[in-house]
Structure 1
Amino acid sequence: MKQLITFLFIGLISYSVNAQAKIKFKTETIDYGTVEKGSNGVRIFEFTNTGNEPLIISKVSSSCGCTIPKKPKEPILPGKTGEIEVKYDTNRVTPIRKTITVISNADTPTVALKIKGEVIDPSKINILEKKTKTVMQQ
């Protein structure tokens, strides 16, 4: 009887170790490319729970206040997909190099997602192009 209890205890422990949520992102980097100032800064990171337990995203944070991530409110069941929405403030004319940290109950509890690109102000670029063309024509 003692051996049976020991065997069941070991079996439960090994089952709980193997039962795990797993997060698999379609991509871990989104390239905005070159976008104009004030354009839509929303992008979506898609992921799938490839594990055999519900995936719970407990926290999603950004490396700065110019990037606002939104996490799923409900657990993601095994085999199902979810989204993390990221909104970058495109009123800032600058290169984009930001990290979004995702914390969950997955086998890899912390994942670093990245966004990159560049925000340009077309009105300033056109002025520079006009000056360059005028100088070259003289």
Structure 2
Amino acid sequence: MKTFGTLLIVFFISLSINAQEFKFEKETINYGKIEKASNGERVFVFTNIGDQPLIIKKIQSSCGCTVPKKPEKPVMPGEKGEIKVSYDTRRVGGFSKAITIYSNAKTPRKMLKIKGFVVKGISLEKEKSEFSGS
């Protein structure tokens, strides 16, 4: 039994030595107030601070209005990677969405967040009718 316990400890130590980690420049992106139907794409930038290639296995969002795109290739140690997120800005009102990343990092599940407020904006038809006196 002592041998098994020793092997188990050695196994966990070796895992922590070779474990991957990544550090994000921002873990929350605040869109602020944006107009309806404007560009809803933003980018989370991260750095692989581990000593092995970082592989993003999959990314999920908390709703269908947010579409994340993962890096296709492993991110090498010391290199930067990007996760693009597109929010459907045709939905007027406040939003706060979570993006979950699954990877081979020491902490295999990481949460990111986007938030903001989509305003209606000014309609060109309404503006024309106000100037023409109709």
TM-score range, shorter chain: 0.7 to 0.9
Alignment of 1:51-70 (within 5 A): 51-70=50-69
Aligned-pair Cα RMSD in Å: 1.8
Where 1:75 maps in the other structure, the secondary structure is: coil
Match of 1:113 in 2: 112
Q: TM-score, normalised by structure 1?
A: 0.78
Match of 2:49 in 1: 50
Match of 2:3 in 1: none
Match of 1:90 in 2: 89
1:18 aligns with 2:17: yes
1:30 to partner: Cα distance: 0.1
Unaligned runs of 5+ residues in structure 2 are: 1-6, 127-134
Unaligned runs of 5+ residues in structure 1 are: 1-8, 128-138
Name the aligned partner's letter for residue 92 of structure 2. V
Deviating above 2 A after TM superposition, structure 1's stretches of 4 or more consecutive aligned residues are 12-17
Identity of aligned residues (%): 51
* C-alpha distance in structure 2 between counterparts of 1:24 and 1:110, whole Å: 13
* C-alpha distance in structure 2 between counterparts of 1:43 and 1:17, whole Å: 32
Q: After superposition, what is the alpha-carbon deviation per residue over 1:49-106, rounded to whole angstroms, capped at 9, x for unaligned?
A: 0000110000101000000000000000000010000000001102010000001000
Q: More helix per residue: 1 or 2?
A: 1
